[in-house]
Amino acid sequence: VAALGFGNPFAGTLHKKREMRRDAVETRTALDDEFQIRLFSTPVWHGCLSARRRTKPGPRIIRDALFWLPLLAAFQGLRLTEALQLFVEDIVPAHGTHWICVRRGRGRRVKTEAGLREVPIHPEIQRIGFLDYVASQRAAEQLRLFPAYAPTADAFAHADRFSKTFGYYRRAV
Q: What is d(CA 97, CA 116) in angstroms, rounded to the nearest whole number? A: 19
Q: Show contacts of 55-62: CB within 8 Å, 24+ apart.
A: 55/169, 55/172, 55/173
Mean pLDDT of 83-101: 92
As a whole number, the mean pLDDT across the chain is: 83
pLDDT at 142: 95
Determine what percent of the chain is predicted with pLDDT higher than 90. 54
Helix residue ranges, H only, 60-156: 65-76, 80-84, 123-127, 130-139
Q: What is d(CA 96, CA 117) in angstroms, rounded to the nearest whole number? A: 18
Instruction: Check whether 2 has a pLDDT greater than 70.
Output: no
What CA–CA distances, in Å, run from 173 to 33, 57, 88, 102, 141?
A: 17, 10, 31, 31, 34
Read off the pLDDT band of 29 (50, 70, 90): low
Q: For residue range 129-143, what is the model confidence (pLDDT) as tens digits?
A: 999 999 999 999 999
pLDDT at 100: 94
pTM, 2 dp: 0.78
pLDDT at 157: 66
Tell me which residue of 120, 128, 111 sits closest to 68, measured CA to CA: 128
Q: For residue range 4-17, what is the model confidence (pLDDT) as tens digits?
A: 666 666 565 555 54
Q: What is d(CA 73, CA 80) in angstroms, rounded to the nearest whole number? A: 7
Read off the pLDDT band of 25 (50, 70, 90): very low
Question: How many Cβ atoms sit within 10 Å of the Cβ of residue 22?
Answer: 8
Q: For residue range 113-128, what is the model confidence (pLDDT) as tens digits?
A: 667 788 999 999 999 9
Instruction: Check whether 84 has a pLDDT greater than 70.
Output: yes
